[in-house]
Structure 1
Amino acid sequence: MPSLFSSHRLGELTLPNRTVMAPMSRVRAAPGGLATPSMASYYAQRATAGLIVTEGVQPSLVGQSNPGTPGLHTDEQTDSWRQVTDAVHTSGGRIFAQLMHGGRISHPETTGLQPVGPSAVPGEGSVFTPSGPQPVPVPRALETHEVAEHVRSYADAARRAVEAGFDGVELHGANGYLISQFLSSNANLRTDRYGGSIAGRIRFAVEAAAATVDAVGAARTGIRLSPGGGIWGVVEDDAAELNTALLTELARLDLGYVHLEATAGEDVLLRLRETWPGTLIVSPSMPGGPRPAGMADAERWLELGADLIAFGRGFLANPDLVERLRSGLPLASADESTFYQGGDVGYLTYPTYRHAA
């Protein structure tokens, strides 16, 4: 079994350890979806991770889910990210941009546009808007001829990401956002080639991945999935069969990695490990779960066949998480009240471990 602190080859990158900083929304972008100097410092502080995956980055305006999130669909946004990638690389790190199209999880107050989705079915819960939480609205169902535009948005954003200095991109196919909505058995009620059967429901994800591979190369392309996750009201009645079929098709594209959240039973995840021949990242902790992942979770999933282990809240509160895990040092807890409040408090203010004098 590999150690969490052994190296791993990912495409043309050699990761010095097997920790991944998981994508976490922090809503610290400047107006216009621009990356900031504080964002550069935040990611550079955590550059000892084997791989950093950024917060979700919208590939188009209509794809923006929340206020305060960064984009990769304008020249100004692309330019703004160079300070982030330069800072991470100067600090010895490697960084992928997560491309996140919110689909139906958005609001006209945020974008000025009606959200879109595979079908006119709203998500569950409330979404953040500039005026506060609002019920998730009913999206406009995409016409068949429009789907290709949203497939292309991932590829176009991936090109911009590489131009901005990112080492690659991760398609956000998890947690109830657009790709996840197409995979769903209750958010996707389409009767055209993008709906109905499992082959139809996985088509959008496969086309988005294929377009991104064509744009930036397979080794620079990963995808994150949450099998059976049920987030934002998305249901996958047939999670094992659906995700097995999806990974079978994605394997033909030779993606750099698949990133699975532990949102399904272990038997399902192990079946997917058997299906996927390439690098597998596992996030052992459920989104919003009772505790962050720790060393015991990492060792268990490495033993079960994962190649890399993603940590979310652990990296948020511990910029030196790798060294703390390596040395068995205590982990700091994150202050949830600062997750989305903006500013540098609770963002740049978590210190590295201070040894007693």
Structure 2
Amino acid sequence: MPHTARRFVEQAIPVGQFFKTISKGYYWAYEYNRGQNMGIGNSVAPNTEIDTDELKIWDLNLAEASSDRDVERLKDHIIYATLEQAVDNKGQLLGFFRNRSGSDRIYEEKAFRNLTNAWRDEYCLSAPVDAGAEERMKTAEWRITMCYYALYKSASAIIRTKDNSDLSISHQKTLDVHSNQFMASRARCLYGYPFNFDPASSQFFDFRKPFPYFLGVEDEELKDRLRSQHEDTYADYYKRQMEAVYSKAENVSSWDSGRNTSTFYHVFKLLREWANYEHGGIFSRLYGPGYVKFLDRGMRLLAYSAITTAEVALICAFGIDRFERELRYYGESCEEGVSEGAAHAVDRYEVYQRTLSNF
């Protein structure tokens, strides 16, 4: 079947629009109404001026991203939001993830095998690391598949912290278990944009706005007021952003209202099926900087978000020392081949050392 311009409009443009919404959504989810949320320019702002260009916590750069193109700054905000939730809910998370039958060894091998496989997918999405989006998106349909597997293996790693049953026969079964037993559990605070949303009920999960309200503020009561001041406005805005994501997904030809789309993981499974089995070849016509960059940016941020959630979950389950040992083994194997293959995980581990050392 020829990949005509008309078919490109019918098949590829909806996928491009989906990734455009995801990519821009990261910026809006993590930067929306930033000045007010920081306590600047409102009635409860601290008296001292806050230099928003030099905001650092845990050595993460939390200054406002300039745009959705500022991927590295957004990554700092993503991991900060996940870690703030982990630290604030430490007792709840440790109680959940460490309440399992049998020895840790029963669960560790499968959990870390899935996680290290996801690390490999994350590296593949960013390779070649010294090239731009145009080079990477020459294989756009396979990048979608790699992104899906980064998400899927991250979810599988989380499941394996408590469940040692045989789930390998069905991706659908795995995602359903992940949704029902983890995303709907006490662990749900770890899931950030765009994973923390349940379209069936039009409700999103607990979502602490992902940057600190309290810089420059000493008064504890004032900190609480800054945290809650724009809660209703932000919640409504975030809900509309997520509804836009699902609305764009429904325009992709593989969308099936009869299938389970209860989480973003399920939604992305449908997109992977589109890329693998239906119309992925249409990307032979992919051109122009816009959709190329949205596809590249969106997939790299999705993988980063999902893997960060899985890494923190495994640290909660097995402790940071066990995580460090597995990362060291993985890094040693990379040194024998693709030396930069562990770079993303190593960068995040340095942050975990500063924040989760007592987990």
TM-score range, shorter chain: under 0.3
Structure number with higher helix proportion: 2
- TM-score w.r.t. structure 1 length? 0.26
Structure number with higher strand proportion: 1
- TM-score w.r.t. structure 2 length? 0.26
User: If you compute each CA radius of gyration, which structure gives the higher value, 1 or 2?
Assistant: 2
